[in-house]
Amino acid sequence: MIRIKRDEIYKILLDRENFYMKQYYSNFHKKEIFLAIKELKDGIYCILICDEENEQIDCLEAVQYIKTLGKAFSLNMIILSDKEEYTHTDNSPMANKLVINRNRSSVIYCDNSCIPIRHIFENANHEKNVRGEEKFFKDKSLTLILMGINIIVFLLTAFLSGNFIDIDSKVLLYFGAKYNILIQQGQFWRLLTCAFLHSGLIHIACNMYSLYIIGPQIQQVYGTYRYFIVYIFSCIAASILSYIMSPNSLSVGASGGIFGLIGALLAFAIIERNRINKNYISSLIQIIIINLFIGLSIKNIDNFAHVGGLIGGITAGYITYRTMRKYNE
């Protein structure tokens, strides 16, 4: 559940419930305090949001101020608490109370007179949770789809291999690994399908983690469709360089496409170098160098695929971002 903020509650009261804001100086807090007010036929309906530890003094000061307005009033307090239950013994009739656990953003106590406010709060909280979920999937939608495809294919190959740790090379060949002899026979689709295969559990775990971290950044910068173009182009570019420079290898893995995404971020950073922090470019270069060094330090890693994916990502990223900027100008 997403934690709701004090200002957001006031904004909802203003925008949706026809409240207006008043403020008064608090001698206790030594600052201006805001109060939401709604005009009714028989007086005014007031809502004050405060912390549990200050509720008594806040209530007294609010009442003193409201009395100066010269109207009949009902004071209702939204009290933010860190506790799991409300144990305050003050039964003062000066204010009705709605108590909310600020950590779980849930109601833990509500006077009958505050039920309408409770409904307002819970509806707003639900809407915020929905918006948070929508944003989560909006930023990560394509990344989650790509991860899902990779994981499903991996589970199929692991099942047929009878082994999740090391996938049988014959199974990888059957599913479309990059293998020069078969590509030369016309099976060009292997240049792409190999990017959705993995040789073992550790291999796919590392690649999917990297994709989950980098992918949403690409989607925010380039958008879904350009992200897809950059990724696919990078995968194919990685396979082509591997085909040329590693003719005897059987290659699989999403790492070429992931290097391509890093390359696309670098292209974006170079284009927008005058608008973003220069340290961002140096950080990306450091990440690229470190990952290439790691690849060189481990056996059976197709580093030419990594370099090919990086070059493909920089190229596709530069072209697509330039095109996008030109279109938006």
pLDDT at 1: 46
**Rounded Cα gap, residues 236 and 233, in angstroms:** 5
pLDDT in tens for each of the 329 residues of the chain? 455 677 878 888 888 888 899 999 999 999 999 999 999 888 999 999 998 888 889 999 999 999 999 999 999 999 888 887 776 655 555 788 988 887 777 888 888 888 888 888 887 777 666 655 556 566 788 999 999 999 999 999 999 999 989 999 999 999 999 999 999 999 999 999 999 999 999 999 999 999 999 999 999 889 899 999 999 999 999 999 999 999 988 999 999 999 999 999 999 999 888 777 777 888 888 888 888 887 777 777 889 999 999 999 999 999 999 888 776 55
CATH 3.40.1350 residue ranges for the chain: 6-110
Strand partners, 25: 32
HSE-CB at 37 with a 13 A cutoff on CA atoms is 18
Terminal Cα distance for the chain, rounded: 39
**Rounded Cα gap, residues 192 and 266, in angstroms:** 23
The fold adopted by the segment(s) 140-328 is Rhomboid-like fold (1.20.1540)
CATH 1.20.1540.10 residue ranges for the chain: 140-328
pLDDT at 151: 97
**Rounded Cα gap, residues 239 and 14, in angstroms:** 58
Minimal CA–CA distance to 289: which of 203, 271, 281? 281
Minimal CA–CA distance to 45: which of 67, 23, 75? 75
pLDDT at 241: 96
Residue pair 299/257 in contact (Cβ under 8 Å)? The answer is: no
DSSP β-ladder status, 106-110 and 178-179: unpaired
Query: Which residues form the catalytic set?
Result: 255, 306
**Rounded Cα gap, residues 197 and 151, in angstroms:** 9
The H-or-E segment that residue 80 falls in is strand 73-81
What's the CA angle centered on 99, arms 116 and 129, to 5 degrees?
A: 70
Query: Which of 3.40.50, 1.10.3470, 3.40.1350, 3.30.420 is the CATH number of 6-110?
Result: 3.40.1350
